[in-house]
Structure 1
Amino acid sequence: MSIVRVAGWIRVDSKTNDVEPPYDREITLIINNIDRLQTLEFLGPNEISLLHRTRELMQTDIMPIALSGRGYDQALRYAVEAEQNLARISKFIDVHRREVKGKEEFRRTFTRSLWVFVLTLVVLIFGVIIVTQNAEFGKRRNEYVRSVALLHAHMTRSRVAALRLFLDYVNDQRSPAPEILRAALEAVKELEAINSGLVRIVNSERDAHTEALGELLQGIRVPLDIKIGLEIERNVKYLQVPAIQVHLVVEELVNNAVAAVVGTQTKQITIRARLLNRYFSFANKLLIQVADTGGGMTSGILDKAATPFFSTRAGSHVGLGLTSCIEMVKAMQGKVKIDSTPGVGTVVSVLLPLNNQR
Structure 2
Amino acid sequence: MNDWLKRFLAMLPYIGLAAAVFLGCWSFLRADSYRAQTDLISNQISEIQWLSSQAREKIAHVTGYLQLPKLTEDQQRQLVQNVRLLDFNLNTLLSLNYVESFLNTADIGRLQRALETVDKEILPLVEAGNQCDEALARVLAMEEDLFRVSSAAVDHSRTFSETARIETEAAKNRLIFAFALGSLIITAILIHQRIMFARRKDRHLRSFSSLFAHMTRTRISALCLFLQDLNSNEKPDPEMVEAARQAAIELDNINDGLMKISYSGRNAGREPLCDILETIKLERSCHIELRISPAACVLPVPASQIGLIVDELVRNAEKAVCDTQNPKITINAWLKKRYFRRPRLVLNVIDNGPGMNPDVLKKATDPFFSTKAGRHVGLGLTSCSEMLKAIAGKLEIMSTSGVGTSVQIEYPLKA
- Counterpart selection for 1:346 from 405, 410, 415: 405
Question: Which residue pairs with 1:218 in the alignment?
Answer: 278
Q: 1:354 to 1:163 in 2, by over 3 A?
A: same
Q: TM-score w.r.t. structure 2 length?
A: 0.68
Which residue, out of 284, 296, 300, partners 2:355?
A: 296
| Pick aligned residue for 2:335 from 275, 290, 313 | 275
Unaligned runs of 5+ in 2: 1-55
Match for residue 332 of structure 1? Answer: 391
Letter in 2 for 1:43: V
Moved more, 96-105 or 36-45: 36-45
Is 2:127 the counterpart of 1:127? no
The residue identity in structure 2 corresponding to 1:124 is: L
What is the aligned partner in structure 1 of residue 366 from structure 2?
Answer: 307
Q: Does structure 1 residue 161 correspond to structure 2 residue 221?
A: yes
Matches within 5 A, 1:47-86: 62=122, 70-80=130-140, 82-86=142-146
Q: Is the 8 A contact 2:336 2:346 kept in 1?
A: yes
AA at the equivalent of 2:389: K
Deviation at 1:256, TM superposition (A): 0.7
- Tell me the equivalent position of 2:196: 136
* 1:229–1:205 distance in 2 versus 1, CA, 3 Å: same
Structure 1 182/262 Cα, relative in aligned 2: closer, same or farther at 3 Å?
A: closer
Are 2:346 and 2:408, in contact at CA under 8 Å, matched by a contact in 1? yes
Task: Name the counterpart of 2:171.
Answer: 111
Q: What's the TM-score, normalizing by structure 1?
A: 0.77
Q: CA deviation at 1:346?
A: 0.3
Contact 1:62 1:75 in 2 (8 A): yes
Contact 1:252 1:321 in 2 (8 A): yes
Structure 1 stretches lacking a partner, 5+ long: none
Q: Distance in 2 between matches of 1:221 and 1:128?
A: 46
Given that 1:155 and 1:318 are in contact with CA atoms closer than 8 Å, whether structure 2 keeps it comes out as no
Give 1:196's aligned residue: 256
Deviation at 1:296, TM superposition (A): 0.7
How many residues are matched? 351
Q: How high is the sequence identity, in percent, across the aligned residues?
A: 35
Q: Would the aligned equivalents of 2:395 and 2:407 in 1 still touch at CA under 8 Å? A: yes
* Bigger relative contact order (CA 8 A; separation at least 6): 2
- Counterpart CA distance in 1 for 2:377 and 2:226 is 20
- The answer to whether structure 1 residue 43 and structure 2 residue 99 are counterparts is yes
Deviates more, 1:94-103 or 1:254-263: 94-103
CA contact (8 A) 2:87 2:119 kept: no
1:293–1:346 contact (8 Å) kept in structure 2: yes
Which stretch has the larger CA shift, 125-134 or 55-64? Answer: 55-64
Q: What RMSD, in angstroms, separates the aligned Cα atoms of the two structures?
A: 4.2
Normalized per residue, which structure has more helix? 2
Gap change, CA 1:193 and 1:127, over 3 Å in 2: same
Tell me the equivalent position of 2:320.
260
| d(CA) in 2 for partners of 1:35, 1:231 | 89
Contact map agreement 1:228 1:271 (CA 8 A) in 2:
yes
Distance in 2 separating the partners of 1:185 and 1:198: 20
Residue type at the aligned position of 2:385:
I
1:255 CA drift (Å) = 1.1
Q: Matched residues in 1 for 2:195 and 2:91: separation?
A: 68
Which amino acid in 2 is paired with 1:2? Answer: E
**1:146 matches 2:146:** no
Secondary structure in structure 1 of the residue aligned to 2:363: helix
Please name the residue that 2:44 is paired with.
Answer: none
